[in-house]
Structure 1
């Protein structure tokens, strides 16, 4: 337990975490006063202060001479609150500020306040945030999930939100195990569209750079592979580059450099997980003396500021950032109005992808296309 936090507060946080972790239901027994005194060697005054606050906040109830029990958390909510929590993986990410702008346009009009949180795409941080939110007066949550492709240890926290009657909607991706409400982009369709664009320009040796610890990356990869198959283009294992969140600044550029330093025919095009990766890949290619799009065509995702502010104007799959934020807020209001039905009848929206063509892609000469297949 943290040294600078009052002991009673540490005990409160421990008990809340225990209730969530063990997925306790209404009327399930919790620690008695004596058990807590003996376990943590705390004074009776400290333990009682923690239990009193937990009871006032609706987490527990006590029966004289019987014990301490889990309360009906759904009754603890204040329906007059005007707070909406928005959880993002990267608060300064080149996409999410625009999404937040769209969210705020809807929420502020209805007098709501945004409580903004940032996970840094770390599962442990997401757990800390959810624990914190569960102690606050929150009307609903908009969340961009952390490392959505990995097995998760935080699903009980969403079950706790359900018990407390706090609706949530996922944005950009979601945890499939929850069968939740969400608004996402058709990432597989976007991967297909990006790859198809290059194939129609004559490219046959196409590299794919994808993130493997979120569902967006996996689905964009699926679209890439589907396009190659549908157009009869040979799939080359060496042309597929995977990276994790922790590797994103180094591995894609390094692997692309190694790929283009090899002897023999070089790939002529690259599909990148997003525009940020595309910019770093372009930098690596330029360090090798290659030109975009004369030597290599590049397609990104998200149609971010990177796509237009660089001297290379990037062909990119459009991400409807502000509109997606507005839609997420509107759907959350619907879920709030639905009450308990919000968890039984999720609302799901998948946005159809569109491609914005700029100068980072170009047609390939016939002899070059033939040579790249040999």
Structure 2
């Protein structure tokens, strides 16, 4: 008498013979198979286990079970890919250096790829990873995560292939993939609260529109203002994209028009704050007497700017260390990848004026 799990196995084999299932196809869910055959989940899992041992199917955690006939488990390459938007500027060298240190200590190689924050370049890199099948894991910085991205299915394909993925600095909300980052909302709130504590009421903001970090830092800015019963004024907020940051000084009239009448400004990051300091110096606006400025990340730009400015610290070395260690643990089967959001610290410099209200 045929056992119940054998009936499921026989059905899947029959579907393959008839061509209704083929290489790469996803099987129906366990619940669907339970209903179809009137059996328990344990019976379905036993059937799938038998097929996996025969190298007919492959189960991908969090994704499902796929037809992968005769595919042997790929030998570990000891290579972990790290894809960042940039590599040799701003906070990126510290992140990459720390990831490389941890990987090297554990005998892994770092394969570095740079997307230049361009969706097309990200797509090309991901396709190469899929085609070459030569990496054990991927630590990726998202590309323009604040706008729709057509590359999400490529990340899903890598997961289906069994490649663990971890995002750093930001994440794609459409994908159920963990990330390690600064708590950007907390950082936006922290620097805004500092300005409020120093007596500022009319506080402008400059935020990045095309990535998730910009949205989260803006949300923290709004949180602090609303908690202080201060109206959030859209006309005091400037939204810029990645390309416009480099051209801020050429677009100074629009920016100054938006922040006119404000005594302080929250900047998306230190790069934006550094550009705003330059605009103010060009226009004879004194910092902090006429305008107080705060940034986020506590990068070298905040320390060595012509006018050093207050900034929320982004613990990037800890970020890189956690990301690398978590990826290694996942590959070695001794831990899972989980979301970690690091809390910022405020580093105060002389860019904020204390206003006393009488």
**TM-score normalised per structure 1:** 0.74
1:366 is displaced (CA, Å) by 3.1
Give the whole-Å Cα distance in 1 for the aligned partners of 2:177 and 2:71: 19
**1:294 lines up with 2:285 in the alignment:** no
Q: How does 1:238-277 map to 2 (within 5 A)?
A: 238-250=235-247, 252-253=248-249, 257-258=253-254, 260=256, 266-277=261-272
**1:214 lines up with 2:211 in the alignment:** yes
1:269 is displaced (CA, Å) by 0.4
Please name the residue that 2:339 is paired with. 348
Whether the 8 Å contact between 1:318 and 1:354 is mirrored in structure 2 is: yes
Whether the 8 Å contact between 2:315 and 2:344 is mirrored in structure 1 is: no
Give the whole-Å Cα distance in 1 for the aligned partners of 2:74 and 2:103: 19
Give the whole-Å Cα distance in 2 for the aligned partners of 1:73 and 1:317: 52
Please name the residue that 2:145 is paired with. 148
Deviations along 1:141-184, one digit per CA (max 9) or x if unpaired, are 11001011111211221122112211111001111222112111
**1:110 lines up with 2:120 in the alignment:** no
Where 2:150 maps in the other structure, the secondary structure is: coil
Please name the residue that 1:315 is paired with. 310
1:256 is displaced (CA, Å) by 5.3
Give the whole-Å Cα distance in 1 for the aligned partners of 2:228 and 2:310: 21
Q: How does 1:74-85 map to 2 (within 5 A)?
A: 75-79=72-76, 81-85=77-81
Q: How does 1:113-128 map to 2 (within 5 A)?
A: 113-128=109-124
**1:171 lines up with 2:173 in the alignment:** no
1:234 is displaced (CA, Å) by 2.3
Please name the residue that 2:14 is paired with. none
Deviations along 1:230-260, one digit per CA (max 9) or x if unpaired, are 011222221100011122222x446654454
1:123 is displaced (CA, Å) by 0.9
Give the whole-Å Cα distance in 2 for the aligned partners of 1:110 and 1:354: 30
Q: CA RMSD in A?
A: 2.6
Aligned residue pairs, count: 299
Unaligned runs of 5+ in 2: 1-20, 26-66
Give the whole-Å Cα distance in 2 for the aligned partners of 1:291 and 1:25: 69
Unaligned runs of 5+ in 1: 1-23, 29-69, 368-374
Q: How does 1:21-100 map to 2 (within 5 A)?
A: 26=23, 28=25, 71=68, 75-79=72-76, 81-100=77-96
Deviations along 1:251-289, one digit per CA (max 9) or x if unpaired, are x44665445469x97211010011011111111111111
Q: Are residues 258 and 128 of structure 1, via their aligned partners in 2, closer, same or farther at CA, if it must alter by over 3 Å?
A: closer
Where 1:75 maps in the other structure, the secondary structure is: coil
1:355 is displaced (CA, Å) by 1.0
Q: Are residues 128 and 363 of structure 1, via their aligned partners in 2, closer, same or farther at CA, if it must alter by over 3 Å?
A: same
Where 1:338 maps in the other structure, the secondary structure is: coil
Give the whole-Å Cα distance in 2 for the aligned partners of 1:255 and 1:25: 56
Q: Are residues 97 and 27 of structure 1, via their aligned partners in 2, closer, same or farther at CA, if it must alter by over 3 Å?
A: closer
Give the whole-Å Cα distance in 2 for the aligned partners of 1:299 and 1:210: 12
Please name the residue that 2:278 is paired with. 283
Deviations along 1:183-214, one digit per CA (max 9) or x if unpaired, are 11111111111100001101111110000111
User: Quick one: which of 338, 346, 351 aligns to 1:360?
Assistant: 351
Please name the residue that 1:202 is paired with. 199
Where in structure 1 do 4 or more consecutive aligned residues deviate above 6 Å? none
Whether the 8 Å contact between 2:270 and 2:297 is mirrored in structure 1 is: yes
User: Quick one: which of 153, 158, 170 aligns to 2:155?
Assistant: 158
Higher RCO structure, 1 or 2 (CA under 8 Å, sep 6+): 1
Whether the 8 Å contact between 1:203 and 1:364 is mirrored in structure 2 is: yes
Whether the 8 Å contact between 2:80 and 2:136 is mirrored in structure 1 is: yes
Whether the 8 Å contact between 2:83 and 2:115 is mirrored in structure 1 is: yes
1:25 is displaced (CA, Å) by 7.0
Whether the 8 Å contact between 1:182 and 1:347 is mirrored in structure 2 is: yes
Deviations along 1:26-57, one digit per CA (max 9) or x if unpaired, are 355xxxxxxxxxxxxxxxxxxxxxxxxxxxxx
Q: Are residues 209 and 72 of structure 1, via their aligned partners in 2, closer, same or farther at CA, if it must alter by over 3 Å?
A: farther
